[in-house]
Structures are given as C-alpha cells and as structure tokens.
C-alpha cells in the first residue's frame, strides 16, 4: 500500500507528476487560455496508461488538482465505465481528493466524448481527453502547412470536408468532433464530443481545457467565449435529435445512447449522462421502461 499523499513518507510526488512537469503544463494552460483555441505544444510525459486512454486529460488534471478539489471523471457521459472508474481511482489515490459523480458538486470534471447535461458553473474546470487536436489533419497531412493555415486564418479547407458531407448525404452528416471557430479566430477540434454538445461550448461559464497526450498539445476555451460551429449558409448547423425520450427517466432533452437488449431487435434509448439520468429518476421522473435492470448498475466496491 502506498502512503497517502500528505503522509510523511510518500513513494511518488503529489498528483503523480513531478513539480517541474506540472509547472510546465500550468504555463501551457495559461498560454492556451490567453489565446483561445490555439494549440500550445507541451512536453507530454509517459503516463501509467496507454496513449488513447486519456493521457492528455490526466496530465491536465494532475497539473491542476489540489487536496481540496472534488473530482469527477466520465467516459461517454457515464461515471461507471472502466476508463472513468480507473482514472477516478487513480486521482483518489495519488492526489488524495474527494471524488464524486455529482456534476454540480465537482470542481474538476475530466471527460471523454461528452459534456455533462447539467449546465456548468463558474469555478468548474472541464478537462477533455483529445486524440487528434488538429481539425485540418484529415485533409492536410503536413504539420508545417496546418500551422501556417492557423497562423494566417486560412480555413477554407475545413469547408471542403463539410462540402463532401453535403454532396454525399445531402446534409452535414458528421456527428462527432464537429469543427468549431473560437472567438472568430482559431479553428478548433472540440475533441470527439457529439455535435449535440457543441452549443454547450458557446458562452460556457466553466473553463474548458483540452489535452492531447500523444500529439503533445494543450488548448483551451476560457469562460464565456463565443464558440461557433461551422456551417454553410444554405445548410445551417443542427444537432442530433431523437424520436424517443430516455427509457429510464423520460428525459427528452438529453443525449441518448441506443442499447440493444436482445437479438430479436429489442432496444432502448437511455441518457448517456448517467448522473443526469440517476438524478432525474431520484426526483421521481420515469420513462416507459423505468425499473429496468440497467437502472440499477452494480455499485463500485469499496476502495
């Protein structure tokens, strides 16, 4: 057993990273906040998880977290998936922080692929795990060229991908990682969040930080910044919609996951934000399949 982080004898530095690294990351964060949407290079470290599992987000969190923080970690909106549980336990252990599933209570929320349904407040920090920070990479493989394009605000190329989408599907069909313009200056890839969440980026009260560990980039959207999703004049931006409401809590305004129940075609739609759904159920809301076993997942064993 490791000793607690405040114990006289510790086997690792507080919050896992050494102080110099955390300092370097904090400086990158400050620079990112000063230039909203600009990708700041940083010296990404080896983390105890593989690339693609959230090394960028973990490093951001490690640089920010303090003993009085309350930490929440979600993966695809859910608090109870393997990745989320592992990272939450990691910080509970190495940073001695309180952990929670309550969006309103948390001070740092690390997320993969979702923004919580409950509106964030000033003082909260949302940390995104980003696999590919460069929105133009799909069409322009040269880093030197994409850097020049950002520097000179040459963003026509991004519209080529939207054009292709409309030409193929008759509408802008991309649903995740939908490109956004930050404060009408920098083009930003909002990590693979569904475009359903794009409007939540705009004028958000919380600090939004994005970390890409493998690609070694940090970028940020400061509170109350204008974030516009790109579109065509004759094909305006729109979010996904569902015909169903959440089968468990009846919510009609949340992002829904489709769950296949058997091999006879039975399926249900449930909120992807597990805490939002649980809170609604506790408040007495019920969907058509309320009481289904999915509503009572196994509780996390005591640590």
Within 10 angstroms of residue 298's Cβ, the number of other Cβ atoms is: 6
Q: Which residue, 226 or 235, is less far from other proteins as judged by CB? A: 235
Backbone angles phi, psi at 160, to 5 degrees: -60, -40
246 is catalytic: yes
Alpha-helical (H) ranges within 15-81 are 19-34, 55-64
Chain residues binding other proteins by CB under 8 A are 138-139, 148, 151-152, 154, 156-157, 159-164, 166-168, 232-235
Residue entry with tokens 């516009």: 228
Question: What's the closest the beta carbon of residue 226 comes to other proteins, in angstroms?
Answer: 18
Minimum gap (Å) between residue 163 Cβ and other proteins? 5
Q: How many CB atoms lie within 10 A of CB 215?
A: 18
Minimum distance between the CB of residue 233 and other proteins, rounded to whole angstroms?
5
From residue 10, give the alpha-carbon distance in Å to each of 15, 20, 87: 11, 18, 20
Closest CA to 32 of 197, 208, 158: 208
Coil, strand or helix at 271: strand
Q: Active-site residue among 177, 211, 213, 271?
A: 271
Which residue is catalytic, options 37, 54, 177, 213?
Answer: 37
| 37 belongs to the catalytic site | yes
- Contact between 131 and 176 under an 8 Å Cβ cutoff? The reply is no
Give the residue with the Cβ less far from other proteins, 63 or 230. 230
Tell me whether residue 23 or residue 147 sits nearer to other proteins (CB atom): 147
Nearest CB to other proteins, comparing residues 89 and 226: 226
> Looking at the DSSP assignment, which residues form a beta bridge with residue 70?
98
* Closer by beta carbon to other proteins, 230 or else 247: 230
Nearer to other proteins, 9 or 233 (CB): 233
Instruction: Give yes or no: 277 in active site.
Output: yes
Distance CA 260, CA 15 (A): 39
Rounded CA separation 61/249 (Å)? 31
């692929």: which residue's tokens? 113
Q: Which of 57, 177, 213, 277 is catalytic?
A: 277
Give which of 73, 64, 17, 13 is closest to 43, Cα–Cα. Answer: 17
Closest to 198 in 3D by CA, of 229, 152, 243 = 229
How many other C-beta atoms are found inside a 10 Å radius of the C-beta of residue 83?
17
Q: Select which of 77, 213, 246, 287 is catalytic.
A: 246
Q: Which residues are catalytic?
A: 37, 246, 249, 271, 277
């Amino acid at each position: 057993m490791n000793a607690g982080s405040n114990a006289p004898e510790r086997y690792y530095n507080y919050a896992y990273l050494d102080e110099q690294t955390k300092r370097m990351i904090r400086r990158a964060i400050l620079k990112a906040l000063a230039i909203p949407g600009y990708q700041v290079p940083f010296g990404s470290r080896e983390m105890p998880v593989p690339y693609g599992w959230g090394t960028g987000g973990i490093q951001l969190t490690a640089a920010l977290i303090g003993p009085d923080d309350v930490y929440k970690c979600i993966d695809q909106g859910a608090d109870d998936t393997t990745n989320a549980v592992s990272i939450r336990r990691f910080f509970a252990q190495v940073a001695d922080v309180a952990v929670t599933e309550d969006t309103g209570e948390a001070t740092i929320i690390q997320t993969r692929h979702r923004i919580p349904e409950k509106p964030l407040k000033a003082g909260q920090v949302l940390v995104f795990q980003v696999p590919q920070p460069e929105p133009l990479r799909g069409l322009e493989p040269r880093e030197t060229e994409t850097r020049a394009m950002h520097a000179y605000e040459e963003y026509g190329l991004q519209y080529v991908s939207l054009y292709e989408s409309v030409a193929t599907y008759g509408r802008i069909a991309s649903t995740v990682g939908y490109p956004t313009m930050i404060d009408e200056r920098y083009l930003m890839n909002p990590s693979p969040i569904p475009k359903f969440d794009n409007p939540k980026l705009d004028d958000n009260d919380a600090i939004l930080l994005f970390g890409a560990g493998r690609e070694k980039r940090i970028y940020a959207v400061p509170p109350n910044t204008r974030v516009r999703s790109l579109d065509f004049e004759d094909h305006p931006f729109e979010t996904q919609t569902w015909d169903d409401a959440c089968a468990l809590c009846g919510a009609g305004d949340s992002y829904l996951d489709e769950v296949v129940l058997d091999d006879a075609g039975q399926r249900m739609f449930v909120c992807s934000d597990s805490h939002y759904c649980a809170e609604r159920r506790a408040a007495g809301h019920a969907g058509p399949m309320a009481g289904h076993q999915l509503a009572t997942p196994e509780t996390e064993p005591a640590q």
